[in-house]
């Protein structure tokens, strides 16, 4: 089940603002975890 586009965009914007210097590999894991259904 994929998240709605607006929710994904909001998560990406918030994470970009909060963690601008995180390594790319870590950011992908954080984004995946933040977008998980149980985090709604």
**Tokens encoding 29:** 């894991």
Q: Residue 5 above 60 pLDDT?
A: yes
Residue pLDDT, tens place only, 7-39: 888 888 888 888 777 787 787 888 888 877 776
CB neighbour list of residue 2: distance below 8 Å, 6 or more residues apart: 8
Residue-range definition of the domain harbouring residue 16: 5-39
Domain count, the chain: 1
pLDDT of res. 26: 80
Q: Residue 1 above 70 pLDDT?
A: no
pLDDT of res. 30: 82
């Amino acid at each position: 089940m994929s998240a709605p586009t607006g929710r994904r965009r909001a998560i990406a914007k918030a994470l970009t603002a909060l963690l601008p210097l995180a390594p790319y590999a870590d950011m992908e894991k954080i984004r995946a975890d933040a977008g998980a259904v149980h985090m709604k």
